[in-house]
Chains A and B, each alone.
Chain A
């Protein structure tokens, strides 16, 4: 396994700007997840893909957030009109479809909205 990669690792943006993050999962993993983690908290589930289909979205994912996985490989998470409350670590994870439920996490993208 080459591991889950995320880009960029850090992003500083001004309030109101749009940002996009990319996640490349482990190549043979069908499932891809996005989580958000704020300081002192555990990760919170945002959304989940099986192949290219987005199967579930958390209530945390407001209309300003959109995630895609167009070819069932990499995924993007876009935040429009960023707010200071969006400052967090955005984590991507992937897993196989069946069997062990273990999720492999990427290093995360730390977003700071000024």
Chain B
């Protein structure tokens, strides 16, 4: 079963715009991670935020975590065509520090 649910399912923007994706989850977590997947390929880790953190930055990425609402958001600023991919949130649930549970993903299309 899916622990996280990303929203929206699909997002289409123009190059240079910002893209925001949201993730909601159901149970308590140790951490939340965001991964990117280009079409038909493996996943690439983007950023990890721990349950005691509220915001984290990495380059053009900004992640927030609200454990009271069981939600996270991923912001990509100044998007590029190369950012076109599916984005997944993944949670390490309960006492598990290894088993990741992924959402269904947001398909981001950045038009040049």
Contact = CB atoms under 8 A, between A and B. Distances in A.
Interface of A: 4, 31, 33, 40-45, 48, 56, 89, 91, 93, 95, 100-108, 110
Interface stretch (B14-22, B56-64, B73-81, B102-110): B102-110
A97 B2 CA distance: 25
Prevailing SS type, chain B contact patch: strand
A103 B40 contact: no
Contacts of B45: 102-105
B31 interface: yes
Contacts, number: 59
B98 A110 contact: no
Nearest to A41: B104
B24 interface: no
Interface in B2-35: 2, 4, 30-31, 33, 35
B112 interface: no
B42 A31 contact: no
Given A101-B92, A105-B42, A105-B45, 19 more contacts: A42-B4, A42-B88, A42-B104, A43-B88, A45-B99, A48-B98, A56-B99, A91-B42, A100-B48, A101-B33, A101-B48, A101-B97, A102-B33, A102-B45, A102-B48, A103-B45, A105-B43, A105-B44, A108-B40
Given A42-B88, A42-B105, A108-B42, A33 B98 contact: yes
A100 B101 CA distance: 17
Contacts of A95: 98
A110 B44 CA distance: 17
Contacts of B42: 4, 91, 105-108
A93 B33 CA distance: 15
A89 B40 CA distance: 9
